[in-house]
């Protein structure tokens, strides 16, 4: 009899080859299309108006000048702390004329609980002097002139424009910046981009109240750690805590 031909044993595929075959057969999960900002934005504005029909200004003040000083003090400080400090400051000086005659050290002794005391006290005294010398002791209702004052940045100037003079403005703080990104209303790259995006989505007559409503909602519901955000979850993030608005946007029809 003829001897049987020898057959080579079958080789098992290498682990890397098996993994590659497995990858080919797996289907990547499809992400939902991005939310339509033009559709989502009016719904969010309506929902916030239902939650916050009135929008009281958080910082206690008497006029445009005391509001300007209070907003300056609120940098890296809570509104509640500022409201505890300002009554004592107003007793000492509640006008540019009175404040301009004080030594910064005297102002600092009162505002120290707000943080950054040396810088803020110098800014308050110096801007008061400028208001007396250049604007007859009045706060100018002009964004560029406000931003030229010591210690007054873009956000502070916009808050004064909106809340003291009623001029449509959209100051973006940390809450607004966070929520605009979570709701897909802005790319969230920086606050100036967020401001431009929000101004393009909402009519100017809504800006002054809307920016306060977003702040209120961010403080009470869509907090930094208390909500994962609609966009993050829609794009494959976790499924932990979601606030009411984010929860609705996660399941928003596409």
The neighbour count for residue 45, using CB atoms within 10 Å, is 18
Phi and psi (nearest 5°) for 93? Answer: -165, 125
Residue tagged active-site, from 79, 98, 106, 173: 173
* Distance in angstroms (rounded) separating the CA atoms of residues 171 and 159: 6
CA-to-CA dists, residue 236 to 22, 233, 242, angstroms: 21, 5, 14
Integer Rg of the chain from CA = 28
Tokens of 70: 């209070």
Tokens of 222: 């869509």
Q: Is 144 a catalytic residue?
A: no
Q: Is 173 a catalytic residue?
A: yes
Cα 125 from Cα 123, distance rounded (Å) = 6
Catalytic residue from among 94, 120, 155, 197: 155
Catalytic residue set = 155, 173
């Amino acid at each position: 009899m003829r001897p049987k031909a020898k057959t080579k044993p079958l080789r098992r595929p290498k682990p890397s080859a098996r993994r590659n075959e497995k990858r080919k057969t797996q289907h990547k999960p499809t992400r939902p299309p991005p939310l339509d900002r033009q559709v989502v934005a009016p719904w969010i504005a309506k929902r916030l108006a239902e939650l916050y029909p009135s929008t009281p200004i958080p910082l206690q003040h008497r006029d445009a000048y005391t509001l300007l000083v209070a907003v300056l003090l609120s940098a890296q400080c809570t509104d509640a702390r500022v409201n505890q400090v300002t009554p004592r400051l107003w007793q000492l000086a509640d006008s540019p004329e009175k404040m301009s005659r004080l030594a910064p050290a005297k102002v600092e002794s009162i505002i120290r609980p707000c943080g950054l005391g040396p810088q803020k006290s110098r800014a308050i005294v110096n801007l008061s002097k400028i208001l007396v010398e250049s604007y007859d002791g009045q706060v100018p209702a002009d964004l560029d002139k406000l931003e030229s004052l010591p210690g007054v940045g873009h956000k502070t100037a916009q808050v004064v424009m909106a809340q003291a003079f009623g001029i449509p403005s959209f100051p973006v703080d940390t809450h607004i910046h966070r929520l605009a990104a979570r709701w897909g209303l802005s790319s969230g790259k920086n606050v100036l981009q967020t401001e431009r995006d929000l101004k393009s989505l909402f009519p100017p007559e809504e800006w002054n109240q809307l920016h306060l409503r977003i702040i209120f909602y961010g403080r009470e519901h869509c907090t930094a750690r208390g909500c994962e955000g609609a966009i993050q979850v829609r794009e494959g993030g976790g499924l932990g805590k979601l606030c009411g608005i984010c929860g609705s946007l996660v399941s928003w029809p596409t």
